[in-house]
Amino acid sequence: MTTAPAYSTSVSPTAARIWSRARGLLIALLVLALGGITIAALKSDEQHGRLDPRSADRTGSRALATLLSERGVSTRVVTSTREAADAAGPDTTLLVTDPNLLTGRQLATLRTATGRAAGRTVLLAPDQPALDSLAPGVRTAEPTDVTVRPPGCSLPAARRAGDADLGGTRFIGAAPGTDRCYSVNGLPTLLRLPGSSADGNGPTGGTRASADDTVLLGAPDLLYNHRLDERGNASLALQLLGSHRHLVWYLPSVSDPASAPGGERSFLDLVPAGWRWGLLQLALAAVLTALWRARRLGPLVPERLPVTVPAAETTEGRARLYQQAGARDQAATVLRSATRARLAPLVGVPPLHVDSADVLVPAVAAHLSADGTSSGALQALLFGPAPADDKALVQLADRLDDLERSILHQERHAPREHPDS
Number of domains present in the structure of the chain: 2
By C-alpha distance, which of 269, 202, 204 is closest to 237? 204
Do 74 and 214 sit in the same domain of this protein? yes
Give the strand pairing for 139-149 and 164-172.
antiparallel
Measured between alpha carbons, how far is residue 389 from residues 214, 385, 386, 396 in Å? 107, 12, 9, 11
Instruction: Report the phi/psi class of residue 349: left, alpha or beta, with left for phi > 0 and alpha for psi in -120 to 50.
Output: beta
Concatenating the DSSP letter of every residue in 293-353 gives HS----S------SS---HHHHHHHHHHHHHHHT-HHHHHHHHHHHHHHHHHHHTT--GGG
Domain membership of residue 232 (yes or no) is yes
Do 131 and 236 sit in the same domain of this protein? yes
Do 89 and 212 sit in the same domain of this protein? yes
For position 203, what pLDDT does the model report? Answer: 55
For position 9, what pLDDT does the model report? Answer: 44
User: Angle 357-367/375-383 helices, nearest 10 degrees?
Assistant: 130
Do 78 and 221 sit in the same domain of this protein? yes
Do 96 and 232 sit in the same domain of this protein? yes
For position 139, what pLDDT does the model report? Answer: 92
Contact 145, 138 (CB under 8 A): no
Count of Cβ atoms closer than 10 Å to residue 84 Cβ: 27
Domain membership of residue 375 (yes or no) is yes
Q: Where are the beta strands (DSSP E) in 154-233?
A: 164-172, 179-184, 187-193, 214-217
pTM given for the model = 0.52
Do 344 and 195 sit in the same domain of this protein? no
Distance (Å, rounded) from C-alpha 328 to C-alpha 397?
A: 11
Residues in a beta bridge with 190: 181, 217
Do 218 and 320 sit in the same domain of this protein? no
For position 377, what pLDDT does the model report? Answer: 84
The last residue of a domain, from among 256, 285, 300: 256
Instruction: Report the phi/psi class of residue 152: left, alpha or beta, with left for phi > 0 and alpha for psi in -120 to 50.
Output: left
For position 206, what pLDDT does the model report? Answer: 43
Do 237 and 348 sit in the same domain of this protein? no
Q: Is 343 exposed, middle or buried (0-12, 13-18, 19+ CB in 10 A)?
A: buried
Do 189 and 80 sit in the same domain of this protein? yes
Q: Where are the beta strands (DSSP E) in 161-288?
A: 164-172, 179-184, 187-193, 214-217, 246-250
What value, to the nearest 5°, has the Cα angle with vertex 317 and ends 315 and 322? 95
- 138: domain range? 62-256
For position 171, what pLDDT does the model report? Answer: 93
Q: Which residues contact 248 (CB under 8 A, 6 or more apart)?
A: 76, 78, 84, 87, 88, 92, 93, 94, 95
User: What is the H or E stretch that residue 357 is in?
Assistant: helix 357-367
Measured between alpha carbons, how far is residue 168 from residues 26, 74, 125, 232 in Å? 49, 28, 7, 17
Do 318 and 252 sit in the same domain of this protein? no
pLDDT one digit per residue (tens) for the chain, 421 residues: 444 444 444 455 677 777 777 777 788 888 877 876 776 555 544 445 788 999 888 889 999 999 999 999 999 999 888 988 888 888 889 999 999 888 888 898 888 888 777 789 999 999 999 999 888 889 999 999 999 999 999 999 999 999 999 999 999 977 778 899 999 999 999 999 887 544 444 555 544 444 578 999 999 999 999 999 888 899 999 999 988 999 999 998 766 666 555 555 565 655 666 677 778 888 888 888 888 877 666 677 777 767 777 888 888 888 888 888 888 888 888 888 988 888 888 888 888 888 888 888 888 888 887 666 788 888 888 888 988 888 888 898 899 888 888 888 776 665 555 445 4
For position 164, what pLDDT does the model report? Answer: 93
Do 81 and 170 sit in the same domain of this protein? yes
Do 217 and 101 sit in the same domain of this protein? yes
The last residue of a domain, from among 210, 240, 256: 256
Show the 3-state SS of 28-95: HHHHHHHHHHHHHHHHCCCCCCCCCCCCCCCCCCHHHHHHHHHCCCEEEEECCHHHHHHHCCCCEEEE
Using CA atoms of 256, 262, 266, 269 in order, give the dihedral in degrees to the nearest 10: -30
